[in-house]
Chain A
Amino acid sequence: MSILLAALFLLASPQSGVDRITVAAADADVAGLSKAMTPKVTFRRNEASATRAPWVDSNGWRYLRQPDGHFYCDAPGAAAAALAAGEAFAYDVHVAIHTDDAGSASLAKMLAFLRTVKGDDFSPLVNIGFVDDGSAEAGEFMNLLVRRNLLFRVVKQADPTLDLTVVPGSAEYSKAEAANPSLLAEKVRSNLTDAKRLLRLYGSEVVVGRLVGHGGDARLYLINYGAARSPAHGVRVRVLGAFSKQEAAQFDAPETKLIDVSVDSKTTEFTLPELKTFAIINLAK
């Protein structure tokens, strides 16, 4: 099976970004690769937690911390395998995915879908800078920012072109509060203000978005980390900026149409009626 999938990899268009996703054989040597988590949602109903939100195992923060890193992701099962590929594609990182028989067909289909995606010259759209000290605490802080769709990139120092720079350990985001990254993420949100957020998602707690842009156009990747459990029945999206054209493509759902579209001078809103695993929304002025 790994031979077949490797063949798929070799057929991938070098322009599509799929070439950054490889398929690891069962006995592949993963030494030297950074371990990524199996993308999924863990529902912890019987555990006390700071919030009632389900626990999303996303690799977004790892990929943002090491955009040139090489990762290894163990993704058994159809949903996890497809998610791992979609996630790697959205964050444009090198990931070797190891899956099982149940995941191999799904992974092959996802790679085929990703090969159809045009354009590789998009850059991340963010308005938050994060000064990453490489610590575990900073990693968890970034994880919470990713989960809350607070779009950031790692910076070495404050960037005046961004609306906000987050410095862990500073007076505003003190080390004393590092044990509660959820609170810190809430502070970032509050300091940025919801009005300035580039992306808002409504209707699901387990969908994470990644926004990229080129020229005046934008592209949104939507990842449903709860795909193994169920599709998201309706995701309402608000993107900052007026985009008169919207076009959706979705893995495993070829006829995806956006509904309830509204565009004003500052924002664009639409609903994706069902998000199974991974969708790409192209937005143009």
Chain B
Amino acid sequence: MGFPGLYPGMRVRVRSERAVDAAANRIDAAAVKLMLSRGIRELTGASNDHDAWSHFISPSDTVGIKVNCSGAPEINSNPELVSAIIDSLIALGVPANRIYIYDRFDNQLRIVNFGPKVAAGVKILGAESSRGSILGYDPYTYVEADFFGEEDTRSNLIRLVSDTLTKVINVPTMKEHRAAGVTGCLKNIAYGDFSNVARSHQREKSNTYSFIGTLASVEPLRSRTVLNVMDGLRSLWQGGPFLQSPKFLFFPKQIVLGTDPVALDHLLIDMIEAKRKQEGAPSLFDRSPEHLKRGPELNPQFNSFIREPGHVEYASTLGLGIFDKARVKDKVIEL
């Protein structure tokens, strides 16, 4: 297993109008649970949830759920979705104390506060209990690259992934990212599982084009990540990964499931591109200097970085998934 996994090129998009009350900015947990159930069955072809989840996880596994909390509290992996995944794992026979919700930064996890919102006994772990600490990372598993002459040229894998977890479920948010273009499956599993990655951006230049795919290819992360559940209940079309203004928030009210991160992220690019076009903003692929301006990205005509959405196609060249739309199979479900 591992990228591109059991179902290369397959994307299951499940949308429900009931999933989010946009006016109140509130998630309907029951609707999300139904979306997940339908999505996992459609992906696997199984007739029930137990059989569907058995394609990826066994009761003996120790499972990590890689969330994205970088935009917390406004835009992050929603606890309602994470809770539904956890309930499915527990129903399958995975004990709660062998399920981890994890991310790089402990302070961001605390903002989301998953604890009271998920089954008791689930462990919540931030690799960096204090910013910059390297102790939560595996000193033996790293990518070494010198981007801008920085002194520390290593990015190390989270120790939990290499030492403890046997499976990882990737739960990114679907949003624009001012350096990478979008932050979906690939960026969440890459930049979200390795230390010292901010060094890849400097001034307007970002090395996300090749670094994201390179990190996502590292074993054992690649082999252990068996499923992606993209959280598109809320989304951002400008200024990501943080909500810099409420005007950039929108509500696709969907989740997208698949094992192929490239295929899923291609869909994310299309979604953000369509929204930006609707809002009159430049394309994610725009590289013109006149649209570069340092500072908060409050005007969608400007960005601090040259975005690198090409990182998704590049990742396909590393064998991580299928980018070619002609080879991608979509299942779209409206609940």
Q: How far is the CB of A264 from chain B (nearest CB, A)?
A: 12
- B residues less than 8 Å from A52 (CB atoms): 202
* A227 CB → nearest B CB, Å: 14
Who on chain B is nearest to A149 by CB?
Answer: B151
Task: Say which size band chain B's interface belongs to.
Answer: 10 to 19
Q: Does A236 lie within 8 Å of B151, measured CB to CB?
A: no
Q: Within the assembled complex, what's the spacing in Å between the Cα atoms of A194 and B139?
A: 18
Contacts of A235 in B (CB 8 A): 134
**Majority SS of interface residues in chain B?**
loop
B135 touches A234 (CB 8 A): yes
For A182, the chain B residues whose CB sits under 8 A away are 149
Q: When the two chains form their complex, are residues A236 and B134 in contact, meaning their CB atoms are under 8 A apart? A: yes
- Separation of A236 and B142 alpha carbons in the complex (Å): 13
Does A20 belong to the interface (CB within 8 Å)? no
Tell me the chain A residues, 214-265 only, with Cβ under 8 Å from chain B. 230, 233-236, 260, 262
CB-defined contacts of B133 to chain A, threshold 8 Å: 203, 233-234
Report A228 CB to chain B, min CB distance, Å: 16
Which of chain B's residues has its CB closest to A232's CB? B132
Contact mask for chain B residues 97-141; partner A; CB cutoff 8 A; 1 contact, 0 none: 000000000000000000000000000000001101111000110
User: In this assembly, does B223 line the interface, its C-beta being within 8 Å of a C-beta of chain A?
Assistant: no
Taking a contact as CB atoms under 8 Å apart, the answer to whether B149 and A233 are in contact is no
How far apart are A138's CB and chain B's nearest CB, in angstroms? 20
Once A and B bind, how many residue pairs between them come within 8 Å at the CB atom?
49
Q: What's the minimum C-beta distance from B137 to chain A, rounded to whole angstroms?
A: 8
B206 shortest CB reach to chain A, Å: 14
Interface pair B152/A262, CB less than 8 Å apart? no
Determine how close the nearest CB of chain B comes to the CB of A269; give it in whole angstroms: 7
By a CB distance below 8 angstroms, the chain A residues around B146 are 194
- How long is the Cα–Cα vector from A194 to B132 in the complex, in angstroms? 22
Residues of chain B in range 146-194 having any CB-CB distance to chain A below 8 Å: 146, 148-154
Q: Are A201 and B135 in contact (CB under 8 A)?
A: no
Q: Are A233 and B132 in contact (CB-based, < 8 A)?
A: yes
Q: Given the known A-B contacts A52-B202, A262-B140, are A233 and B135 also in contact in the complex, defined by CB atoms under 8 Å? A: yes
If A148-B151, A186-B149, A201-B151 touch, whether A233 touches B139 (CB-CB below 8 Å) is: no
Number of A residues with CB within 8 Å of any CB on chain B: 24
- For B134, what are the chain A residues with a Cβ–Cβ distance below 8 Å? 202-203, 233-236, 271
Q: Is A35 an interface residue (CB 8 A)?
A: no
Bound: A204/B154 CA distance, A: 12
Is A139 interfacial (CB 8 A cutoff)? no
Task: Name the A residues within 8 Å of B154 (CB-CB).
Answer: 202, 236
Which residues of the other chain, B, contact A53 by a CB distance below 8 angstroms?
A: 150-151
A52 to B140, CA, bound (A): 26
Q: Is A109 an interface residue (CB 8 A)?
A: no
| A153 interface residue per 8 A CB criterion | no
Q: Which of A52, A149, A203, A204 has the most CB of B within 10 A?
A: A203
Known: A186-B149, A202-B152, A202-B154. A260 touches B130 (CB 8 A): no
A186, B130: Cα distance in complex, Å: 29
Whole-angstrom CA separation of A105 from B151 in the bound complex: 34
In angstroms, Cα B151 to Cα A271, docked, is 17
Known pairs A148-B151, A194-B153, A230-B130; A271 contacts B135 (CB<8 A): yes
Specify which of B139, B150, B152, B153 lies most central, judged by the most chain A CB atoms within 10 Å of its CB.
B139
Q: Are B149 and A189 in contact (CB under 8 A)?
A: yes
- Residues of chain A with a CB closer than 8 A to B129's CB: 233
The reply to whether B135 and A273 form a contact with Cβ atoms under 8 Å apart is: yes
- Residues B38-57 near A (CB distance < 8 A): none
Q: Are A203 and B132 in contact, CB atoms less than 8 angstroms apart? A: yes
Closest to A274 in B: B135
Q: Closest residue of chain B to A187, judged by CB?
A: B149
Contact B151 A203 (CB under 8 A): no
Docked Cα-Cα span, A269 to B139, in Å, equals 9
A170-183 vs B, CB cutoff 8 Å, 1 = contact: the mask equals 00000000000010
Distance (Å) between the CB of B215 and the closest chain A CB?
A: 17
- Complex alpha-carbon distance, A275 and B132, angstroms: 13
Q: Which of the listed residues B130, B133, B140 has the most CB atoms from chain A within 10 Å of its own CB?
A: B133
- Residue with the highest number of chain A CB atoms closer than 10 Å, among B129, B134, B148, B154: B134
6 closest A-B pairs (Cβ-Cβ)? A233-B133, A234-B134, A203-B134, A186-B149, A234-B135, A260-B139
**Can you give 9 A-B contacts (C-beta < 8 A)?**
A51-B148, A52-B202, A148-B151, A203-B134, A204-B132, A233-B132, A233-B133, A235-B134, A262-B139
Given contacts A149-B151, A233-B130, 5 further A-B contacts (CB under 8 A): A51-B148, A53-B150, A204-B132, A204-B152, A236-B139
